[in-house]
């Protein structure tokens, strides 16, 4: 685990790329259980398990991207497509016996709770994103959903690979509620997580459309804005609906969705009520 921040982006990329991405314990257990019935498992069933875990989704997409045959000229943009491309037997050979988040972070007080908060937020963002995309009748609603699920993967990896640094950022923001996340990240990490995330996506050859949809600096593109607002809404409402930033989120969503603010609130409530929390609290 990293206890000191690398000097810059290249150091972070090298350090994180060298470390195995851990997954939720129940994801690892589900994959190992499905392997016992490999001949009767459909790719869609595997994809559903993978998509319940943002870091497992990242692991599958990055593996396929890095091992894509030279003859393939198009990206494998979704988890389902990635599983189909690998084949069931290859998937189970590659991803059996996963390193787990719980085992990795158990010795560090507060770290497991930190990453679980990020993963819960990712699932809410994905639910919001696909709801907004369907309202807009976007034909790429599935990949927009996955982009929102993965949008904060660098933050999740920070908790897994450098939990003391993640805890220090949390401590500073708790001590100074006006401290913006980007400023705290630069102080502690020497980089912003949004820049690290984009750099990792390029290094791991993740699909170009996913890179586009998760790029915070392209908020003028409606599909990107769909993902960014879904992510912002999930972040700002993670502790309740009284966050001071929420009115601005609603105003921006009203413009994107061509709805009145009251209708936006109704849509959000409907989406949030149907969301399934994919992580469980620590026992």
Domain parsing of the chain, residue ranges:
9-101, 104-274
The CATH number corresponding to 104-274 among 3.20.20.80, 2.40.110.10, 3.40.50.300, 1.10.3210.10 equals 1.10.3210.10
Residue 273 has a pLDDT of 80
pLDDT of 121 reads 97
Could you report the per-residue pLDDT of 14-39, keeping only the tens digit for each? 999 999 999 999 999 999 999 998 88
pLDDT in the model for residue 1: 87
- Cβ atoms of 216 and 194 within 8 Å: the answer is yes
| CATH architecture type of domain 9-101 | Orthogonal Bundle (1.10)
Express each pLDDT in 109-153 by its tens digit. Answer: 999 999 999 999 999 999 999 999 999 999 999 999 999 999 999
Q: Report the share of the chain in percent with pLDDT over 70.
A: 94
- Domains 9-101 and 104-274 alike in fold: yes
Q: What is the pLDDT of residue 77?
A: 77
Q: What is the pLDDT, as a whole number, of residue 70? A: 58
pLDDT at 278: 39
pLDDT for 277 beyond 50:
no
For every residue of 175-219, DSSP letters joined together read: H-TT--HHHHHHHHHSS-HHHHHHHHHHHTT--HHHHHHT-GGGT
pLDDT at 276 over 50: no
Radius of gyration (C-alpha) of the chain in whole angstroms: 19
């Amino acid at each position: 685990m990293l206890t000191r921040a690398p000097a810059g982006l290249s150091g972070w990329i090298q350090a994180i790329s060298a470390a195995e991405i851990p997954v939720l314990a129940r994801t690892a257990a589900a994959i190992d259980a499905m392997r016992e019935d490999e001949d009767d498992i459909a790719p869609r069933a595997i994809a559903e398990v993978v998509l319940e875990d943002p870091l497992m989704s990242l692991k599958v997409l990055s593996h396929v991207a890095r091992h894509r045959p030279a003859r393939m000229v198009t990206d494998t943009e979704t988890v389902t497509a990635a599983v189909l491309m690998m084949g069931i037997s290859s998937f189970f050979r590659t991803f059996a016996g996963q390193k787990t988040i719980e085992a990795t972070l158990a010795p560090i007080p507060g770290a497991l709770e930190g990453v679980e908060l990020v993963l819960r937020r990712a699932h809410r963002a994905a639910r919001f994103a696909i709801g907004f995309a369907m309202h807009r009748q976007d034909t790429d609603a599935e990949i927009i959903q996955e982009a929102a699920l993965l949008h904060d993967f660098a933050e999740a990896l920070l908790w897994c690979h450098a939990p003391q640094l993640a805890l220090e950022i949390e401590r500073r923001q708790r001590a100074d509620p006006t401290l913006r996340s980007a400023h705290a990240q630069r102080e502690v990490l020497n980089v912003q997580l949004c820049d690290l995330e984009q750099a990792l996506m390029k290094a791991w050859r993740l699909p170009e459309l996913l890179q586009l949809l998760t790029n915070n600096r392209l908020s003028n593109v409606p599909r990107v804005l769909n993902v960014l607002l879904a992510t912002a809404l999930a972040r700002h409402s993670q502790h309740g609906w009284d966050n001071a930033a929420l009115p601005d989120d609603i105003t921006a969503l009203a413009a994107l969705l061509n709805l009145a603010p009251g209708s936006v609130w109704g849509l959000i409530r409907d989406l949030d009520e149907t969301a399934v929390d994919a992580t469980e609290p620590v026992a």
